């Protein structure tokens, strides 16, 4: 076992003494030492019950004959970080999380690893660490938040963000606004809809890195605790059987994850996270792979923000196993951390509630995410096509350009944006912001105010809660001199999602003339973001750090 390096031999007397300081017995020294990376904290709603989930994991480890050691990892709530400088730290925290887990595991020579996490950047960071370390490991994801109702309708955190625009437009009074504030996030768990957090949990299960139903079983449910305990047991079994993530996660596993993303219409942030996770396995996932799979994969599940159904409704429909069962021909039958293959798990899927998986009557013939290219995004841009109205799949409008999210939001709330406009928010990329912040506040304000024919284009990214013609990840980004830096107010921008095109109506000659006059602004960065901005790659490469 790996842990023998810290507990066997005369020269390890001090090491054993330190373990005994923790309460470890002589009889436990020859058992597998399992590290548990726990993202528990009291600032993120999706994390506030991970202590209980981790306790169940520990019980499973002990039950199977292992010795559990818990350590903490960072976790940022994107919703609370939204709309101010804090959002610049969200995506970069993904790399911090992976590095923290790697450091703790290698320093203490754990035999196996369990990662317990929830929410946007935290789950991807833990998966990056699992594949980088490639020791016996399993993921336990925290699960979705339950919903309550306002005015007789089920609401989610998306409705709270949009309530500001509704209030500004005079469509909500003070008392109604307070209801959205009080009931849109009423429980623990990852926010209810198919936003980044829940999408990544579903893709974790699809990759085979967590046990069946782990992704969709609600936060704090007894079923979640049972899955956590079984995961602890399985972690010890993996050590004894010497099964590592890269023994079963391969390129086909990632294609399965992309396929699932397209079937369910998941968050556009997966186009950042899957390549970053695959990179740790030595696998290159290009944007073209996402579009290739999207074009041949139907969209069969419609969840919030595209409908009122939530991830809990998907769980009652049979969860990930039922999707695979109904769309079996789209998946490769890969092995999972459970020791079973995807098809075997899918065969036992059970429908417990309404059937919302429309495999026989797809909502769209193509997947939920589309990759656009053109002179505005030569290396690609991303849109959640499943959340775009049919009449906005093709759109041409006048550019209104802003060099920060704050300026754009102010213009939207001041009613300076009109029907037919394309709001361009730039210098929001991995290097530019830095950290590629999400633009949920501007998109929610547009929706809340009631603007129907307005698009938004950015080299930043969008929350999975975003709906409408919102194109993000524009590459190259403005900070690197991408063409988005050259757009001026009044330029015509044409978006054609079915044709996968995004162009600004300017000749190459005009773009070159503007490029000669373009200068990148000076920034005063310090600390982590200063280091991050120097070594982060572009969005089309997953915003991974240069080796």
10-residue averages of pLDDT along the chain (547 residues): 95 97 97 98 96 98 98 95 90 97 98 96 98 98 95 91 85 93 94 94 98 96 97 98 98 98 93 97 95 96 92 97 98 98 98 96 92 97 89 95 94 93 96 91 85 94 79 96 97 96 97 93 87 94 90
Structure-block tokens of residue 266: 């998941």
Report d(CA 390, CA 385) in Å as an integer.
9
**Contact status, residue 136 vs residue 3, Cβ threshold 8 Å:** no
**Preceding amide of 305 cis, omega within 30:** yes
Burial class (CB in 10 A: 0-12, 13-18, 19+), 76: buried
Catalytically annotated residue among 90, 156, 294, 463: 463
Report d(CA 238, CA 99) in Å as an integer.
23
| CA torsion through residues 298, 301, 305, 307, sign | positive
The CA distances from residue 34 to 22, 75, 246, 268, 404, in Å, are: 14, 21, 18, 34, 45
**Token pair 């499943």 in the structure block, residue:** 386
- pLDDT confidence of residue 400: 97
Task: Count CA atoms within 13 Å of residue 211 on its CB side.
Answer: 22
Query: pTM score, two decimals?
Result: 0.94
Burial class (CB in 10 A: 0-12, 13-18, 19+), 230: buried
Active site residue 463: yes
Structure-block tokens of residue 218: 């609600």
Task: Give, as one character, the DSSP assignment of residue 241.
Answer: H
- pLDDT confidence of residue 150: 93
The counts of H helices and E strands in the chain are 19, 14
Structure-block tokens of residue 337: 């951390």
**Contact status, residue 117 vs residue 123, Cβ threshold 8 Å:** yes
């Amino acid at each position: 076992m790996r842990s023998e390096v810290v507990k066997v031999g005369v020269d390890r007397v001090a090491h054993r003494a330190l373990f005994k300081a923790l309460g470890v017995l002589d009889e436990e020294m020859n058992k597998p030492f399992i590290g548990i990376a726990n993202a528990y904290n009291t600032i993120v709603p999706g994390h506030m019950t991970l202590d209980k989930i981790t306790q169940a994991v520990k019980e499973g480890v002990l039950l199977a004959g292992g010795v559990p050691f818990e350590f903490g990892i960072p976790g940022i709530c994107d919703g609370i970080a939204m709309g101010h400088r804090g959002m610049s730290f969200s995506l970069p925290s993904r790399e911090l999380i992976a590095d923290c887990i790697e450091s703790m595991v290698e320093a203490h020579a754990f035999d196996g690893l369990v990662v317990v996490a929830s929410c946007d950047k935290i789950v991807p960071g833990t998966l990056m660490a699992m594949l980088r370390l490639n020791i016996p490991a399993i993921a336990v994801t925290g699960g979705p938040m339950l919903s309550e109702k306002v005015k007789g309708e089920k609401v989610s955190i998306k409705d709270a963000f949009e309530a500001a625009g509704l209030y500004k437009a005079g469509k909500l009074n003070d008392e109604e606004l307070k209801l959205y504030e009080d009931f849109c996030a009423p429980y623990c768990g990852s926010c209810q809809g198919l936003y980044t957090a829940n999408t990544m949990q579903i893709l974790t299960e699809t990759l085979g890195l967590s046990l069946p139903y782990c992704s969709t079983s609600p936060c704090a449910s007894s079923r979640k605790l049972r899955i956590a305990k079984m995961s602890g047991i399985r972690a010890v079994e993996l050590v004894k059987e010497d099964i590592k993530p890269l023994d079963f996660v391969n390129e086909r596993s990632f294609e399965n994850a992309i396929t699932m993303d397209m079937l369910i219409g998941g968050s556009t942030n997966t186009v950042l996270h899957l390549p970053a996770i695959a990179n740790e396995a030595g696998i290159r996932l290009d944007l073209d792979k996402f579009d290739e799979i999207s074009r041949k994969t139907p969209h069969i599940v419609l969840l919030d923000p595209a409908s009122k159904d939530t991830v809990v409704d998907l769980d009652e429909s049979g969860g990930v196993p039922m999707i695979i069962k109904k769309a079996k021909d789209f998946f490769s039958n890969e092995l999972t951390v459970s020791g079973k293959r995807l098809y075997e798990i899918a065969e036992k899927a059970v429908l417990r509630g309404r059937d919302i998986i429309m495999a026989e009557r797809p909502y769209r013939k193509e997947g939920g995410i589309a990759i656009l290219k053109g002179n505005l995004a030569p290396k690609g841009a991303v849109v959640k096509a499943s959340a775009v109205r049919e009449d906005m799949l093709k759109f041409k409008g006048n550019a209104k350009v802003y060099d920060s999210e704050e300026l754009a939001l102010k213009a939207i709330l001041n009613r300076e944006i009109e029907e037919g406009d394309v709001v361009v928010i730039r210098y929001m990329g991995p290097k530019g912001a830095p950290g590629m912040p999400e633009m949920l506040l501007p998109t929610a304000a547009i929706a809340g105010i009631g603007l129907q024919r307005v698009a938004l284009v950015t080299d930043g990214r969008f929350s999975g809660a975003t709906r409408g013609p919102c194109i993000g990840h524009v590459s190259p980004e403005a900070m690197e001199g991408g063409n988005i830096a050259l757009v001026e107010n009044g330029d015509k921008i044409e978006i054609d999602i079915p044709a996968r095109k995004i162009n600004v109506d300017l000749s190459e000659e005009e773009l070159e003339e503007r490029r000669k006059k373009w200068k990148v602004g000076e920034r005063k960065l310090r600390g982590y973001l200063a280091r991050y901005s120097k070594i982060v790659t572009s969005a089309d490469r997953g915003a991974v750090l240069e080796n």
